[in-house]
Structure formats: structure tokens, C-alpha cells
């Protein structure tokens, strides 16, 4: 599985922004969003990676 990291703005205000522009990307249930705190993900045989709020 290929892992890509996209950043987005953190704000308490309502904002709309284009996060991903990739014609080969089809959004499905494999998307993980870190909206607060820290999240660690390990995919198959890859090393675990940590992400903080503001990552998709």
C-alpha cells in the first residue's frame, strides 16, 4: 500500500480548502484524518509513522 501525506489548515473558523489534487486518487475507506492530537499508523511491512493534527 502506498502512503501519502497531505497537510491542511488548522483553525477554529469554518474554512473550505482543496487538500488533494490528484487525478489518480479515488477516495475510499482507506483515508485516515488526524484532526487532533497524534496518530501512529503501520501499513503492512512498513515502519510505523506518526502524524499530528492537520494531516490527511
Q: What is the pLDDT of residues 7-17, one digit of tens each?
A: 888 888 877 77
* Residue 1 in this model has a pLDDT that exceeds 60: no
What single-letter DSSP state applies at residue 46? S
Q: What integer is the mean pLDDT of 19-44?
A: 74
**Cβ contacts of 17 within 8 Å, gap of 6 or more:** 8, 9
Cell of 35: 484532526
Amino acid at each position: 500500500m502506498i502512503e501519502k501525506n497531505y497537510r491542511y489548515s488548522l483553525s477554529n473558523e469554518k474554512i473550505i480548502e482543496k487538500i488533494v489534487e490528484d487525478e489518480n486518487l479515488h477516495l475510499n475507506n482507506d483515508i485516515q484524518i488526524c484532526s487532533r492530537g497524534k496518530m501512529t499508523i503501520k501499513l503492512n511491512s512498513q515502519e510505523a509513522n506518526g502524524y499530528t493534527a492537520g494531516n490527511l
